[in-house]
A and B are shown apart, each in its own frame.
Chain A
Amino acid sequence: MGLPNDYDEGLSMQRAAFKQYAQAIPGAYAIRKADKAPCRMACPAGLNVQGYVQMVKEGKFHEALEIIMEDLPLPGVLGRICPHGCEDACRRAEVDEPVAIRNLKRLAADRVDPRGIQIPCAPARPDRVAIIGSGPAGLSCAYHLARKGFRSTIFEALSQPGGMLRVGIPAHRLPREVLEQEIEVVTNLGVEIELNTALGRDLSIDDLFRKGYKAVYLALGAHKGIELGVPGEKADGVRQGVDFLREVNLTGMARVGRKVVIIGGGNVAIDVSRSAVRLGAEETTIIYRRTRSEMPAWEEEIQAAEAEGAGITYLAAPQEVLTRNGQVVGLRCIRMQLTEPDSSGRKRPVPIPGSEFEIECDQLIPAIGQRPDLTALENITGLTFSRYGTLEVNAVTYATERPGVFAGGDLQTGPWVAIGAVAAGKEAAESILRYIEGRDVAAGRQPVAHENPRYRPIPQNETRRPRARMPELPVAQRRGSFNEVELGFDEPAGRAEAGRCVNCGYCCECLQCVDACLAKAVDHHQVPVTRDLQVGSVILCPGSEPFDPAMLANVYPYRKNPDVVTSLEFERLLSASGPTMGHLVRPSDGKEPKKIAWLQCVGSRDINRSGNGYCSSVCCMYAIKDAMIAKDHAHGDLDCAIFYMDIRTFGKDYEKYYTRAKDTAGVRFINARVHSVDEAGPGRSLRLRFVDEKGEIREEAFDMVVLSVGLQVTPETRELAKRLAIDVDRYNFAVSPPFLPVATSRPGVFAGGVFQQPKDIPGSVAEASAAACLAGRMLSAARNTLTRQVELPAEIDIRGAEPRIGVFVCNCGVNIAAVVDVKGVQEYARTLPNVVFAGQNLFTCSQDSQELMKQAIAEHRLNRVVVAACSPKTHEGIFMDTLEGTGLNKYLFEMANIRNQDSWVHSQTPRQATAKAKQLVAMAAARAATLNPLAEKVIPVNPRALVIGGGVAGMNAALAIADQGYEVVLVEKEERLGGMAHRLHATIEGWDIQRYLQELMGRVQSHPRIQALTRSLIVGFGGFKGNFTTEVLVGPGMYERKIDHGVVILATGATEYRPTEYGYGQSEHVVTQVELGARLQEHGARGLAQVVMIQCVGSRNEQNPNCSRVCCQAAVKNAIHIKDLSPATDVFILYRDMRTYGLLEDYYEQARRKGILFFRYDADAPPRVETRDGGVTVTFRDRIIGRELQVEADLLALSAGLVPSDTEELSSIVKLARTPEGHFMEAHVKLRPVDMATEGLFICGTAHSPQLINESIGQAHAAASRAVTFLSKSRLTLSAVTAKVNPDVCAACLICVRSCPYHVPRINAEGVSHIDEALCHGCGICAAECPAKAIELNWYEDEQLLCKVDALLEGIL
Chain B
Amino acid sequence: MRLNYPSSVRIIRVPCTGKVDVLHLLRCFERGADGVYVVGCREGDCHYQNGNFRAKKRVEQAQQLLDRIGIGGSRIRMCNLSSSDAPLFVRFAEEMHAAVMSAGPNPIRGARAAMKAAPDASSPAAHP
Task: Give chain A's interface residues, CB within 8 Å of chain B.
Answer: 22-23, 575-577, 581-582, 872, 897, 901-902, 904-909, 912-913, 915-916, 919-920, 923, 1237, 1281, 1299, 1301-1302, 1321-1325, 1327-1329, 1337, 1340, 1342, 1345-1346, 1348-1350, 1352-1354, 1356-1357
Contact = CB atoms under 8 A, between A and B. Distances in A.
Given A1299-B54, A1325-B48, A1328-B58, A1281 B15 contact: yes
22 contacts: A581-B1, A582-B87, A897-B11, A901-B11, A906-B5, A912-B7, A923-B10, A1301-B51, A1321-B48, A1324-B14, A1324-B16, A1325-B18, A1328-B21, A1340-B15, A1342-B24, A1348-B12, A1349-B12, A1349-B31, A1350-B31, A1356-B31, A1357-B32, A1357-B112
B19 A1325 contact: yes
A908 B49 CA distance: 38
Best-surrounded residue of A901, A907, A913 (most CB of chain B within 10 A) = A901
Given A897-B11, A1328-B58, A1345 B24 contact: yes
Contacts of A905: 2-5, 7
A1340 B14 contact: yes
Instruction: Select the residue from B13, B32, B48 with max chain A CB neighbours within 10 A.
Output: B13
Contacts of A909: 7
Interface string B55-93: 000100000000000000000000000111111100000
B10 A1301 contact: no
A912 B5 CA distance: 12
B7 to A, nearest CB: 4
Contact of A577 (B19, B27, B86): B86
A1350 B2 CA distance: 28
Contacts of A1323: 15-16, 18-19, 47-48, 51
B99 interface: no
A22 B86 contact: yes
Contact of A1353 (B24, B33, B50): B33
Dominant SS among interface residues on chain B: loop
Nearest to B16: A1323
A127 B96 CA distance: 72
B100 interface: no
Contacts of A1340: 14-15, 19
B32 A1337 contact: no
B108 interface: yes
10 tightest A-B contacts by CB? A1324-B19, A1356-B32, A1323-B48, A1325-B18, A1353-B31, A1301-B49, A912-B7, A576-B85, A1323-B16, A904-B2
- Most chain A CB within 10 A, of B1, B7, B14, is at B7
B103 interface: no
B91 to A, nearest CB: 10
Interface of B: 1-5, 7, 10-16, 18-21, 23-24, 27-28, 31-33, 47-51, 54, 58, 82-88, 108-109, 112
Given A581-B87, A916-B10, A1353 B51 contact: no
A582 B85 contact: yes
B10 A22 contact: no
A1354 B32 CA distance: 9
Given A577-B86, A1350-B31, A920 B10 contact: yes
B88 A1325 contact: no
Contacts of B28: 1349, 1353
Contacts of B51: 1301, 1323-1325
A907 B4 contact: yes
Contacts of B33: 1349, 1352-1353, 1356
Contact of A1342 (B5, B23, B32): B23
A1357 B2 CA distance: 33
A1329 B2 CA distance: 35
Contacts of B16: 1323-1325
Contacts of A1237: 49
Contacts of A904: 2
Nearest to A907: B4
Given A582-B87, A1340-B14, A1353-B33, 5 more contacts: A916-B10, A1281-B15, A1329-B54, A1350-B31, A1353-B32
Contact of B84 (A577, A919, A1356): A577
A552 B16 CA distance: 49
Contacts of B84: 22-23, 575-577
A1299 B14 CA distance: 18
Contacts of A872: 13
A576 B86 contact: yes
A1281 B16 CA distance: 12
Given A906-B7, A1328-B54, A1349 B15 contact: no
Contacts of B4: 905-908
Nearest to B85: A576
A528 B78 CA distance: 51
Contacts of B87: 576, 581-582
Nearest to A1325: B18
B117 to A, nearest CB: 13
Contacts of B5: 905-906
A577 B2 CA distance: 11
A1216 to B, nearest CB: 15
Contacts of A908: 4
A1339 to B, nearest CB: 9
A1345 B21 CA distance: 11
Contacts of A913: 7
A1329 B51 CA distance: 11
A1349 B27 contact: yes
B100 to A, nearest CB: 14
B19 A1327 contact: yes
A105 B84 CA distance: 45
A187 B95 CA distance: 65
A898 to B, nearest CB: 11
Nearest to B13: A872
For A1340, A1345, A1350, the residue with the greatest tally of chain B CB atoms inside 10 Å of its CB is A1345
A577 B1 contact: yes
A1352 B108 contact: no
A1352 B35 CA distance: 13
A1349 B16 CA distance: 17
Contacts of B15: 1281, 1322-1324, 1337, 1340
Nearest to B84: A23
A1328 B20 contact: yes
